[in-house]
Amino acid sequence: MNEIVRIENLTKNYVSQSETLNVLKGVNLVVQKGERVCVIGESGNGKSTLLNVLGGIDEASGGLVKAGDYELTKMTEDQLTEYRSTFVGLIFQFHYLLKDFTALENIFLPAYMAGVSKASAMDKAKKLLADVGLSERAGHLPSQLSGGERQRIAVARALVNDPQLILADEPTGNLDPANAAMIGDLLFDMTRRYNKSLLLVTHDMNLARKGDRLLEMKDGVLNQK
């Protein structure tokens, strides 16, 4: 396997007038292509910050952050925008679906906005909607869907631009146990089916154990669990 993520001595500090908060304190991580890595840890230890830096949402304070051929610490905002729309797929605890668009349109739009033709983007969206078992809900707005259904749409949306790397931040954290188990199974099934690499952070040990490797974030440092 070839590596898809290499992080070396990553630091992230948040500076305010009164203090400097050191959230990441020299994180090192290598993820191989096709590998599914899970990170556990208490809130406030830096898990989400790690994903935000790797997702190109937040800026590193120091160290190397490389995903595929992208070296995030040296990229312009335009390059980061391209990276976010093509290389990574993001799934959050809250689905962030567009409330005025249907389930199908929520999956379709990221592809269409990335320059895929309308017909091709719609074909992709319909296939992914079927893959997550919600074809019959295509015309429903997010407000007409259950929490589990909304998160299934979010999983499909994250895959529509055929990213190489899926980043999932507490994807089951807002769900009841039954829906959490279902979304966990779906996420691992879809990343396996489409041969995607996955970095997932969670409090849920049942979900974390589904990965190929389990790490723990503690006090801003990542360790083998």
109 versus 44: the higher-pLDDT residue is 109
How confident is the prediction for the chain on average, in pLDDT?
89
pLDDT at 174 over 80: no
Q: Which two tokens stand for residue 15?
A: 């500076």
pLDDT at 223 over 90: no
Sign of the alpha-carbon torsion through 102, 106, 111, 115: positive
pLDDT tens for 96-141 read 888 899 999 999 998 888 888 999 999 999 999 998 889 998 999 9
Token pair 């723990």 in the structure block, residue: 216
CB 134 within 8 A of CB 183: no
Sign of the alpha-carbon torsion through 201, 207, 212, 217: positive
Tell me the HSE value of 114 on the side-chain side, using a 13 A CA sphere: 26
Instruction: Write down the pLDDT at residue 9.
Output: 92
**Choice among 60-74, 99-113, 170-184, 200-214 with the minimum mean pLDDT:** 170-184
Q: Which two tokens stand for residue 204?
A: 């849920």
Mean pLDDT of 84-91: 88
pTM for this entry: 0.89
pLDDT at 93 over 80: no
Angle between helices 118-131 and 103-113 (to 10 degrees): 130
CB 171 within 8 A of CB 92: yes
Greatest extent of the chain over all pairs of C-alpha atoms, in Å: 53
Q: Which two tokens stand for residue 35?
A: 């590998």
Instruction: Write down the pLDDT at residue 175.
Output: 80
Q: What are phi and psi of 158, to 5 degrees?
A: -65, -20
pLDDT at 61 over 70: yes
**112 CB neighbour count, 10 Å cutoff:** 17
Instruction: Write down the pLDDT at residue 1.
Output: 57
d(CA 207, CA 85): 26
DSSP 184: H
What is the identity of the amino acid at 11?
Answer: T
What is the identity of the amino acid at 60?
Answer: A
pLDDT at 41 over 90: no
Q: What is the per-residue DSSP string for 92-107?
A: -SS----TTS-HHHHH
pLDDT tens for 1-38 read 589 999 999 999 888 878 888 888 889 999 999 999 99
